[in-house]
Amino acid sequence: MVLSDLNTERQNRASSDLDKLSALEIATLMNREDAKVLRAVRQALPEIAKAIDVVHNRLAKGGRLIYVGSGTSGRLGALDASECPPTFGVDPSMIQYVIAGGERALANAAEASEDSSQLGKSDMAARKPGKKDVIVGLAASGRTPYTIAALKYAAKKGAATVAVICNTGSELARVAQIAIEAEVGPEVLTGSTRLKAGTAQKLICNMLTTGAMARLGYVYGNLMVNLHLKNEKLIERGISIVQRVAKVNRTVALATLEAADMKVSIALVMLCAKVSKPEANRRLKRAQGSIRKAIEA
């Protein structure tokens, strides 16, 4: 695939005079272009839904979701993976990331690493992907050797593979079992895929993990019931959630949380199912962490 043939690498006529525009004109132009991202992601919703189902099924069997990418794409995977433990209370090993250039590449450019197929293969091999896992390769172009090699290796080991791309007809799409192609078009700043392409990838990552976690029962309704109450804001949020779901006053909510070791999930099962803390723990274990199932048991 010739780089100049990619939509994400073409020059955007609408922004050809970018350096001549006022601040408001630049903001208006970028806002208008960003609106195209939502349309592109909307067209990919059927494939996104398929990927959510795969992630849900693999995680339900004790597997892992592993993002892999380079540059902006790799950092977006790292961002989503690192946000899942505090949002859903899951172990960090459940949602992981692999980025070309390693941890240093999160804050420093490591462009040379993305050209290495061998590095992509070896970095993925270090995670020992298997039949319970799902690997999500992120690449705006769909042509990154590092990410392609990582997905190929994971597939050979039996892992499910998903590609998140912003161009159609790419090699990454061909090697993945599910290809999510959100064609956002040329960037306002030519080739800068941290813009529309990055936004599209971020939206899709949000859908994959939030959708899978909701289906696994790590949320109750639309509430974050597995968050860790580690600061004043989160403690207040936890109290509010217990009050809202269990329909109790603040005093009862706080007292139950304290009895439940400040774990919202346990407190909710205790109050809603009217059971002791040990019984709430047993129910949650049997329900694999699903609060709704634990309460209705």
Task: Give pLDDT < 50 ranges for the chain.
Answer: none
* Residue 240 dihedral angles phi and psi, to the nearest 5°: -60, -40
CA 25 to chain centre: 32
Given this model, what pLDDT does residue 248 score? 97
Query: Mean pLDDT in the chain?
Result: 95
Catalytic: 83? Answer: yes
Q: CA-to-CA distance for 7 and 13, rounded, in angstroms?
A: 12
Beta carbons of 267 and 245 less than 8 angstroms apart: no
The dihedral region occupied by 173, where left means phi > 0, alpha psi between -120 and 50, and beta the remainder, is alpha
Given this model, what pLDDT does residue 7 score? 85
**pTM for this model (two decimals):** 0.93
Q: CA-to-CA distance for 250 and 31, rounded, in angstroms?
A: 43
| Tens of pLDDT, residues 220-230 | 999 999 988 98
Catalytic member of 33, 47, 114, 187: 114
Given this model, what pLDDT does residue 14 score? 94
Given this model, what pLDDT does residue 108 score? 85
The dihedral region occupied by 221, where left means phi > 0, alpha psi between -120 and 50, and beta the remainder, is left
Beta carbons of 68 and 98 less than 8 angstroms apart: yes
Catalytic: 296? Answer: no
Domains recognised in the chain with CATH numbers? 3-216 (3.40.50.10490), 232-296 (1.10.8.1080)
Rg (CA), the chain: 22
| Tens of pLDDT, residues 93-138 | 999 999 999 999 998 887 778 889 999 999 999 999 999 999 999 9
Catalytic member of 9, 83, 183, 279: 83
Given this model, what pLDDT does residue 4 score? 66
